Amino acid sequence: MAMPVSGELAQLGKSVVIKGELSGSEDLYVDGQVEGSITLKGNNLTVGPNGQVKANVEAKGVVVQGKLEGNIHASDRVELRKAASVTGDVTTQRISIEEGAYLKGKVDIQKLEGKPEAKAAPAK
Amino acid sequence: MASVVQNFMKLFRGSSGGSETTTPAQASQKLTRRSSGLGEAARSWDTEQTLCILDLGATSAANIRYFTERGHKIYSEDLLTASTEPSLITKDDQGNTVLDSRRFLADNLVYPAAHFDVVLCWNLPDYLDESLVKPVVGRLWSVLKPGGMLLAFFHTRDAGPDSPCYRFHIISPDTLEMQRIVLRKETRRGQTGAVPTAVSDGFRLQRVFNNRHIENLFRDFISIKFFLARDNVREVLVGR
C-alpha cells in the first residue's frame, strides 16, 4: 500500500547528497543521500530503494524502501518495505513491516487520544 | 565441551556440499508449531505492568504487533544478520578465521544493564558463529533484569545438519508460525565470507548442544527449564 500523497511532492534523485537540516511542508521522496535531520510535520517521507538517510526523521508518515539510520517519529504510520533497513527507534501509531525488512531498534506504538487503540499493521 | 562441539561441526560440514537452495515456495511456506517454552514465558507477559522485551530473531511484524497490543515495549535486533557483517572477520592467535566478538558487541546488544524483562533468542545460538556464542550469552545476562527470562531453542542431533533456519512469529501465547529465512543478497557471503558454513541462501546449523552444553552456556543464570518438542527441538527457558 502506497503512502497517500498530500499535495505536492519534492524528489531528491539518487545522485543528490545533502548534509544538514531538511524541513518542509510537502511530501518528500529521497532516493539519494541525506545526513542530518528531516522534519516534515504533517507530510510524508519516502526513502526510495537507492536512498541512504542518516537522520532523525519527524513526519506524518514514513515509507522506507532503502536504508535509514536514525530515529523515526511518525504521527500517523511507518511502512518498512521488504528491502528496508532501519537502525533506530520507531515511534508511531501504526507500523507495517514486510517480510525481509530489517529493523534494529525499539518500536513504540503511541495511542492517539480519543481514538480506539492503535495497532501495528500485519506484515504483507 | 569445545572439542565435542567442533566434532559436531566437522560432522555437519562434511555431510553437506552446502549447495542446497531454497525455492520461493519453501521460503514463503509457513509452519505452525506449539511451544511449551513460549507458553510458560507468556504467563509472565500477561500482566498490567509494561515489560521490556528484546526479540533477537529476524524482524517480525507479528511479534511487534503481539507485544505492543499488550502494552509492552519491544526491541528488535536481528543478531544473525548482524553477524554477517564482513568487517567482523579477523584471525585468532592460531591464525584461524573467526569473528571479532569485541567489535560485534560494540555495535550490537548495546543496552543499559538490567534493561529487559524478556529476551527471545529463538534458535540464535545454533546458527551463530562459534566465536560469538559465549560473548553474546554473557551480554544477554547483563542486559536482563534479575528475575527476567530468556527463551532459546536448540536442535537435537536428530534434527540433522541441514535443518533450516526460521524466523518465528508469535500467533498465540503458545503457538508459533515459522518461516524459513532466505538471506538477502548482501548477506550472502559464500565460503570466504563472514558466515563460513552458510548455504547459498540461508544460515546453516553450526553445532548441536546437548543438555550439559546448554547448562554450561547458561551457568551464570539461576534457573533453567527444558521442554523437549516433537520436531527435534529442545526449548529452554532460562531465568536470570
B97, pLDDT greater than 60? yes
> Within 13 Å, how many C-alpha atoms sit on residue B25's CB side?
0
CA B180 to chain centre: 14
* B82 neighbourhood in chain A, CB within 8 Å: 104
CB A119 within 8 A of CB A100: no
Which residues on adjacent β-strands are paired with residue B175? B34, B172
**Distance from C-alpha of B178 to C-alpha of B57, rounded to nearest angstrom:** 11
Helix residue ranges per DSSP H, B78-210: 79-82, 101-107, 124-127, 130-143
Question: Is the model's pLDDT at B113 over the cut of 50?
Answer: yes
Out of B65, B75, B81, closest to residue A105 by CB = B75
Number of H helices, E strands in chain A: 0, 11
What pLDDT score was predicted for residue A121?
53
pLDDT greater at residue B134 or residue B14: B134
Mean pLDDT of chain B: 83
| Choice between B77 and B193, residue whose per-residue pLDDT is larger | B77
Pick among A68, A97, A98 to test the B interface (most B CBs inside 10 A) = A97
Residue A13 has pLDDT above 90, yes or no: yes
In angstroms, the CA B74 to CA B53 distance is: 5
Which residue in chain A has the smallest CA separation from B68? A109
Confidence label for B46 from pLDDT (cuts 50, 70 and 90): confident
Q: Which of A110-124, B21-35, B108-122, B178-192 has the lowest mean pLDDT?
A: A110-124
pTM of the complete model: 0.83
Domain residue spans of chain B:
2-239
> B184 to chain A: which residues are within 8 Å by CB?
83, 100, 102
The C-alpha cell that represents A34 in the structure block: 541525506
The CATH superfamily holding the domain B2-239 is Vaccinia Virus protein VP39 (3.40.50.150)
| Rounded mean pLDDT, A5-32 | 90
ipTM for this model: 0.79
Of A18-22, B105-109, B157-161, least confident by mean pLDDT is B157-161
Mean local confidence (pLDDT), B90-99? 90
| Nearest Cβ partner for B81 among A80, A102, A107 | A102
The CA distance from A61 to the nearest CA of chain B, in Å, is 17
Query: What is the percent of chain B with per-residue pLDDT over 90, rounded to a whole number?
Result: 58
H or E stretch at A54: strand A52-64
Chain A positions contacting chain B at CB under 8 Å are 80, 83, 95-109, 117, 119-123
Amino acid A61: pLDDT: 97
Whether the CB-CB separation of B103 and B152 falls below 8 Å is answered with no
Round to whole Å and give the CA distance between B62 and B208: 28
Closest Cα to residue B70, out of B95, B50, B54? B50
pLDDT tens readout for residues B187-203 = 544 333 444 333 346 78
Taking an 8 Å cut-off on Cβ atoms, the answer to whether B78 and A120 are in contact is no
pLDDT at residue number B22: 56
CA distance readout (Å), A35 to A86, B60, B97: 14, 28, 35
Q: Which helix (H) or strand (E) holds A82?
A: none
What mean pLDDT comes out for the span A62-83? 96
B50-62 pLDDT, tens per residue? 999 999 999 998 9
Cβ–Cβ below 8 Å for A121 and B65:
yes
